[in-house]
């Protein structure tokens, strides 16, 4: 989101004459800050976290608006065999045949963990999972610490030694959606609504694609 918002928000400020204060942090930190009473007008986080905050009354229910989709990809080390992941069954076989796998602790890591549960592979994968903590999954794969990995493609574009096999099968819902939601009683609600509308505009759609993501 930093790469996207750092370009999009100044354009909004110039177009609307509204100054925006942005606080960037890891998803789990943002969620904790909101739960502890942080003041904000609009939050932009993975949809699952925005929905959870809305269910708790900390974001206005029904105000959730998907802004960006970040596709999750499958990674191997350069020079190693490239598995078939073209179908759900082939993808499952690739996971089961791997000696070790890696994913992050961030939004895509939560997606992968939920996906493994959905596929009935969570227990089987647990003992051979290497978490990527504070670095891209691609670095874990490139170093040989894990055989295969899964993370948002945009996080691994510049990682040397990591080969992107491709996105996960689309039937698996192979993306992390980032959504906006408004704070109850937000003092700058009108401006926040204007910002969401701008982030959904054609101007921002172009920026989103340039950053390696998809408009939601």
Domains and CATH numbers, the chain: 2-68+178-215 (3.40.190.10), 70-172 (3.40.190.10)
Report pLDDT for 89: 97
pLDDT digits (tens, 9 = 90+) for 109-168: 989 999 999 999 999 999 999 999 989 999 999 999 999 999 998 887 778 999 999 999
Among 99, 102, 35, CA closest to 75 = 102
Q: Which residues pair with 101 in a beta bridge?
A: 129, 148
Report pLDDT for 156: 79
The residues near 150 (Cβ < 8 Å, ≥ 6 apart) are: 72, 73, 74, 75, 101, 102, 103, 108, 112, 137, 168
The residues of the chain scoring below 70 in pLDDT are none
Report pLDDT for 52: 95
Report pLDDT for 106: 84
Compute φ and ψ for 55, nearest 5 degrees: -65, -30
Q: Are 30 and 43 in contact (CB under 8 A)?
A: yes
State how far the alpha carbon of 24 is from the alpha carbons of 40, 51, 161, in Å. 12, 19, 29
């Amino acid at each position: 989101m930093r790469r996207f918002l750092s370009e999009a928000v100044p354009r909004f400020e110039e177009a609307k004459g509204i100054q925006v204060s942005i606080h960037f942090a890891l998803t789990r930190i943002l969620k904790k800050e909101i739960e502890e009473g942080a003041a904000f007008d609009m939050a932009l986080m993975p949809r699952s976290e925005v929905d959870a905050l809305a269910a708790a009354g900390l974001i206005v229910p029904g105000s959730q608006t998907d802004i960006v989709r970040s596709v999750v990809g499958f990674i191997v080390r350069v020079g190693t065999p490239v598995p078939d992941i073209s179908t759900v069954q082939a993808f499952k076989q690739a996971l089961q045949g791997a000696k070790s796998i890696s994913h992050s602790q961030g939004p895509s890591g939560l997606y992968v963990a939920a996906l493994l549960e959905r596929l009935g592979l969570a227990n089987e994968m647990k003992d051979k999972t290497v978490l990527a903590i504070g670095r891209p999954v691609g670095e874990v794969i490139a170093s040989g610490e894990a055989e295969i990995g899964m993370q948002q493609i945009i996080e691994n574009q510049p990682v040397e030694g990591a080969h992107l096999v491709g996105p996960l099968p689309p039937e698996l819902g192979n993306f992390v959606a980032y959504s906006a939601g408004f704070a109850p009683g937000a003092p700058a609600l009108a401006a926040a609504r204007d910002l969401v509308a701008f982030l959904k505009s054609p101007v921002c759609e172009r920026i989103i694609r340039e950053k390696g993501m998809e408009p939601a």
